[in-house]
């Protein structure tokens, strides 16, 4: 018996009609039989938006972020990148298109330039010195850093190298998991300003977990409030005072007193 597959139709079925850059639909994560870490999260994020994710510790913010570049494998048909189910795409392609910065910068031994050139090299592309310097500038680092060893960098400088290394993959979406929580206020501003500049100049979409309401107010177009694995409010930063959900009000009151 012959089975014919209509690949065009299959591809069309795998695409959603939504024009969102990232569309999350009823995302669940259940571990250890009945432990619901994420419960029915749905949100659309448009290209070029900066979205802040806030909420109490252990509420599922990092778990949500990590699903978007498949650091854990979300169920099929729950996360779409430009309308395509991310679980149907090559995982390395997803991670190139959706870059991520963590709380603690993870760099490889070697020079700053080695780190920045790493991602493109894996794809068979050799960056020129000028390209490496361009990524360093985008991350607000002086080009003189290129030849320096990563040993001896401050945490703030290392985080900017990690940003430059992520940018060298030319991501369309940048996931930030509390990237400035270990940094001093000056280094924090460097990272914030670089990210904001990139959003304005390249249309980069940013999804950022933060414990700082002030940071979210400075950067975000939209704020998602996650409590106990549920997305309970999606608000503009100026609307945070108008949150209606009692759990949101309680969290925001406590966070603003910090």
Ligand X SMILES: Nc1ncnc2c1ncn2[C@@H]1O[C@H](COP(=O)(O)OP(=O)(O)OP(=O)(O)O)[C@@H](O)[C@H]1O
Residue numbers at the binding site for ligand X (CB under 6 A) = 31, 37, 55, 57-63
CA distance 54 to 225: 5
Q: Give 74 or 119: the residue with its C-beta nearer to ligand X.
A: 74
Q: Give 60 or 74: the residue with its C-beta nearer to ligand X.
A: 60
The total of other beta-carbon atoms located within 10 Å of residue 108's CB is 10
User: Shortest gap between Cβ of 38 and ligand X (angstroms)?
Assistant: 8
User: Shortest gap between Cβ of 55 and ligand X (angstroms)?
Assistant: 6
User: Shortest gap between Cβ of 105 and ligand X (angstroms)?
Assistant: 17
Q: Give 68 or 117: the residue with its C-beta nearer to ligand X.
A: 68
User: Shortest gap between Cβ of 180 and ligand X (angstroms)?
Assistant: 14
Q: Give 64 or 198: the residue with its C-beta nearer to ligand X.
A: 64
């Amino acid at each position: 018996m012959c089975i014919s597959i209509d690949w065009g139709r299959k591809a069309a079925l795998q695409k959603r009609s939504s024009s969102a850059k990232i569309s999350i639909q009823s995302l669940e994560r259940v571990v250890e039989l009945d432990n619901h870490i994420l419960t029915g999260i749905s949100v659309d994020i448009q290209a070029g938006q900066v979205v802040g994710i806030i909420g109490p510790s252990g509420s599922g913010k990092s778990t949500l972020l990590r699903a978007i570049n498949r650091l854990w494998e979300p169920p099929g048909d729950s996360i779409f990148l430009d309308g395509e189910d991310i679980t149907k795409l090559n995982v390395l392609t997803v991670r190139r298109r959706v870059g991520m910065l963590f709380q603690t910068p993870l760099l490889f031994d070697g020079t700053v330039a080695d780190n920045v050139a790493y991602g493109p090299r894996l794809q068979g592309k050799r960056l020129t010195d000028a390209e490496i310097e361009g990524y360093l500038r985008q991350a607000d680092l002086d080009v003189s850093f290129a030849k320096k060893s990563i040993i001896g960098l401050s945490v703030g400088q290392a985080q900017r190298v990690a940003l430059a290394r992520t940018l060298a993959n030319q991501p369309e979406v940048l996931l930030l998991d509390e990237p400035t929580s270990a940094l001093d206020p000056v280094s924090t501003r460097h990272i914030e300003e670089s990210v904001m500049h990139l959003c304005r100049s390249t249309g980069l979409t940013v999804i950022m977990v933060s414990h700082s309401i002030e940071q979210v107010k400075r950067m975000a177009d939209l704020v998602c409030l996650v409590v106990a694995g549920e997305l309970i409010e999606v608000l503009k930063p100026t609307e945070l005072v108008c949150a209606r959900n009692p759990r949101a009000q309680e969290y925001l009151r406590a966070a603003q007193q910090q």
